[in-house]
Amino acid sequence: MKILFLNGPNLNLLGQREPEVYGRTTLAAIETKVRERAKKLGAEVEFRQSNLEGDLIDWIQGTPGKFDVIVINAAGYTHTSVALRDSISAVSVPTIEIHISNVHAREEFRHKSLLAAVCYGQIVGFGVNSYVLAVEAAVNVNADQE
Ligand code: DQA
């Protein structure tokens, strides 16, 4: 099975960005952890990041027939992007929303996700471990679909 990990704006700065909120692990180090877990579970992973909404939308549109599950940390776009939500709705690929921080324990504008209702489920607030847990969740979701 193939899992596409998508990372939205500012996640390229992980490691130096607000470490008190997001920790000191870089996105590259997260990718390594994700690959290790995926290998153990027999899954293939592709890992991408963009600061551009359109890139994320193009990547989601490109998933049918190529990926079994999408895992997305849409970062700030989670709370604002109807277009991203529509692209998740438009493809029939099950999608898992993840966040490093517990968005519900933060500012009120982060409590609302425009993506949640069109996602299979959410993993929120486990620090960078949210990514590793998402590998496990994606494998389970895929088994559910079969
Ligand atoms: C985030 C939470 C979002 O509210 C924020 O805009 C981010 C990161 C997280 O992983 O905790 O950029 O998605």
Q: Mean pLDDT across the stretch 80-106? A: 97
- Which residues form ligand 1's pocket by a CB distance below 6 Å? 10, 73, 75-76, 78, 99-101, 103, 110
pLDDT band for position 144 (50/70/90)? Answer: confident
Concerning whether 22 is annotated as a catalytic residue, the answer is: yes
Candidate of 73, 97, 111, 133 to mutate for ligand 1, largest count of ligand atoms within 8 Å of Cβ: 73
Marked catalytic residue, from 77, 99, 120, 131: 99
Q: Which atom of ligand 1 is nearest to the CA of 98?
A: 10
Concerning whether 104 is annotated as a catalytic residue, the answer is: no
Q: Using DSSP, state whether 7 is helix, strand or coil.
A: strand
d(CA 29, CA 35): 10
- pLDDT > 80? residue 24: yes
- Please work out, in degrees rounded to the nearest 5, the angle formed at the alpha carbon of residue 18 by the alpha carbons of 16 and 21: 125
In the chain, DSSP finds a helix count (H) and a strand count (E) of: 5, 5
**Token pair of 78 as six digits:** 């989670």
| pLDDT tens digits, one per residue of 119-143 | 999 999 999 999 999 999 999 999 9
Task: Tell me the HSE value of 43 on the side-chain side, using a 13 A CA sphere.
Answer: 29
- pLDDT > 90? residue 93: yes
